[in-house]
């Protein structure tokens, strides 16, 4: 939910990276954070287990700057992908203005991708939203993996057409900024106040 804060003269938009466990959501955020100039980013917060799986969320703010006397901020979040963090995923998703669905291109993770998509739809409903109502972008991550899933295969299987589709190797930072730029643009394009 776009939040226009009169007390801090601030407009905030929330972007959530969703997807199966280990698909590379946290890696996207870390790489994005590293790639931005100091004046455009705030501290990154990660709530993770010792084995690096996200347990609640990762977060950092992107400061776009001032427009007409208001500051504009994008709030970037990841959800925990592992099955048993179901309740936390819904909490983080609440109020999302846009979603990046991170697909693991490892063929062995095909079922996990589908399950995560179903879970996304279910949780959007629980947040009184729907996958058709907010911008959703698909990112096929881990394109460096041999016999990677065909781009387009997930859309075909789940019967949904995202606004845009990107390929990425998040661990090398490839496709990370492009994905973030596209979802940020889509979210802003729909914004009215």
Partner 1 sequence: MTQDNNAAARAELAAILDSLVSECALRTVALVTRDGSLVTSRGDVSYLDITALAALLGGMFSATREVAKLVGEKHFSILLQQGEKRHIHISLVTNDFMLALIFEDVGKIGMIRTVTRRIAGRVGELAAMDWTPSADEPASQEPAKRSSEFREYALDLIDRIFSP
Q: Under the rule (CB under 6 A), what is the footprint of ligand GTP?
A: 19, 21-27, 52-54, 78, 80-82, 141-142, 144-145, 169-171
Residues 6+ apart with CB under 8 A from 104: 19, 20, 22, 23, 24, 112, 113, 141, 142
Report H helices in 134-175.
Answer: 153-158
Nearer Cβ to Mg ion (11/14): 14
Nearer Cβ to partner 1 (62/120): 62
- Per-position x/- string for 3-42, each x denoting binding to partner 1 as judged by CB under 8 A, each - no binding: xxxxxxx--x-x---------------------xx--x-x
Q: Which neighbouring-strand residues pair with 167?
A: 140
- Does residue number 26 form part of the binding site for Mg ion (CB under 5 A)? yes
Query: Exposed, middle or buried by CB within 10 Å (0-12, 13-18, 19+), for 10?
Result: middle
Q: Which two tokens stand for residue 92?
A: 């983080």
Rounded CA separation 89/127 (Å)? 11
Provide the strand spans (E) within the chain.
Answer: 3-5, 10-19, 45-48, 54-67, 70-78, 98-104, 136-141, 164-167
**Residue numbers 136-175 binding partner 1 by CB under 8 A:** none
Q: Which position among 30, 112, 124, 180 is part of the footprint of partner 1 (CB under 8 A)?
A: 180
Q: Could you give phi then psi for residue 19, rounded to 5 degrees? A: 150, 170
**Residue numbers 54-113 binding partner 1 by CB under 8 A:** 56-57, 59-62, 64-65, 67-70, 72, 75, 87-88, 91, 94-95
Choose the stretch contacting partner 1; rule: CB under 8 A; options: 16-24, 53-61, 108-116, 157-165: 53-61
CA 173-161-134 angle, 5° bins: 80
CB of residue 128 to ligand GTP, shortest distance in Å: 24
| Residue matched to tokens 């990677």 | 148
Binding positions for partner 1, rule: CB under 8 A: 1, 3-9, 12, 14, 36-37, 40, 42-45, 47, 56-57, 59-62, 64-65, 67-70, 72, 75, 87-88, 91, 94-95, 177-178, 180-181, 184-185, 188-189, 191-193
Contact positions vs Mg ion (CB under 5 A): 25-26, 54
């Amino acid at each position: 939910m776009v939040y226009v804060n009169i007390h801090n003269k601030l407009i905030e938009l929330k972007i959530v990276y969703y997807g199966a466990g280990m698909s590379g959501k946290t890696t996207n955020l870390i790489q994005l954070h590293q790639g931005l100039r100091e004046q455009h980013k705030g501290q990154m917060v990660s709530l993770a287990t010792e084995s690096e799986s996200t347990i609640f969320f990762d977060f950092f703010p992107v400061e776009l700057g001032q427009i007409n006397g208001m500051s504009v901020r994008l709030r970037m979040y990841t959800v925990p992908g592992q099955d048993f963090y179901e309740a936390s995923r819904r909490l983080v998703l609440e109020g999302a203005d846009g979603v990046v669905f991170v697909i693991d291109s490892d063929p062995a993770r095909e079922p996990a991708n589908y399950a995560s998509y179903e879970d996304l739809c279910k949780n959007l409903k629980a947040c009184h939203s729907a996958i058709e109502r907010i911008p959703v972008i698909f990112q096929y991550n881990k394109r460096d993996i041999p016999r990677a899933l065909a781009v387009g295969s997930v859309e075909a299987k789940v019967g949904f057409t995202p606004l845009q589709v990107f390929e990425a190797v998040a661990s090398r930072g490839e496709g990370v900024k492009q994905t973030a730029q596209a979802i940020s643009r889509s979210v802003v394009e729909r914004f009215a106040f």
